[in-house]
A and B are shown apart, each in its own frame.
Chain A
């Protein structure tokens, strides 16, 4: 049982390049989210999805695009990478049983934009 799998683990991009960070889950959770982690700022929500075909913006969505065609996959696209997008990115899924909103995280993707 893999849980939440993110690829790649590391990536270096040049300014202006585009790329897709992959996230796949085998937990059959409806809710999936993308966060970025920056020093001293904790994790900030980029985009989230409540199910296949439904996505919405989080706190810091600019420069990122998402889609959710299946329950299992939730890719994050950087349209034109900027140095400000250098960060560690985490994908998470959530099981919601009433108030039991525990999130499960992937191992992260460390992205550097030069």
Chain B
């Protein structure tokens, strides 16, 4: 079955530091890949996505590239801000529109950014 593995946290950075959160996956076919963010006390929001190999998703300074050869979708940001403090989830959806809305999530990575 499908599975997603994220780097363990928590991750603590100073403002303006470089961020990488690793994500690797196991799936059959060609899944869609997502990063979701959860701010304190809120639900999950889509941060970025990629639907095919070599696609790069980007939003709010965050980027992730769909690497089929390494089955990875690492999240990066060049300069983090205090407001980026949140929990980040990597997720996988089945390919070909057959997911019926089902997503497989990684365990989440807590990011704390200090001034």
* Residue in B closest to A95 when the chains form the complex, CB atoms: B101
Given A32-B101, A48-B100, A48-B101, check contact A40 B107 (CB 8 Å).
yes
Given A43-B89, A48-B100, A107-B42, check contact A102 B105 (CB 8 Å).
no
Evaluate contact between B101 and A103: CB separation under 8 angstroms: yes
CA distance A92 to B36 in the complex (A): 13
Contacts of B104 in A (CB 8 A): 45
Q: Does B103 contact A (CB under 8 A)?
A: yes
For chain A, the count of residues having a C-beta within 8 Å of the partner chain is 32
- Tell which of B45, B52, B102 touches A45, judged by Cβ atoms closer than 8 Å: B102
Contacts of B107 in A (CB 8 A): 40-42
Evaluate contact between A101 and B43: CB separation under 8 angstroms: no
Evaluate contact between A99 and B52: CB separation under 8 angstroms: yes
Query: CB-CB contacts of A75-100 with B at 8 A, as 1s and 0s?
Result: 00000000000000010111010111
* Residue in B closest to A45 when the chains form the complex, CB atoms: B102
Q: Does B96 contact A (CB under 8 A)?
A: yes
- Tell which of B32, B36, B42, B106 touches A101, judged by Cβ atoms closer than 8 Å: B32
Q: Does B46 contact A (CB under 8 A)?
A: yes
Evaluate contact between A102 and B44: CB separation under 8 angstroms: no
Evaluate contact between B93 and A101: CB separation under 8 angstroms: yes
CA distance A50 to B101 in the complex (A): 8
Evaluate contact between A108 and B101: CB separation under 8 angstroms: no
Evaluate contact between A90 and B43: CB separation under 8 angstroms: yes
Known: A93-B101, A100-B32. 16 other contacts (CB 8 A): A33-B101, A35-B105, A41-B107, A42-B106, A42-B108, A90-B44, A94-B99, A99-B52, A99-B95, A100-B51, A101-B99, A102-B46, A102-B49, A103-B101, A105-B36, A107-B42
Nearest 5 Cβ contacts at the A-B interface: A31-B101, A94-B101, A42-B105, A105-B43, A99-B51
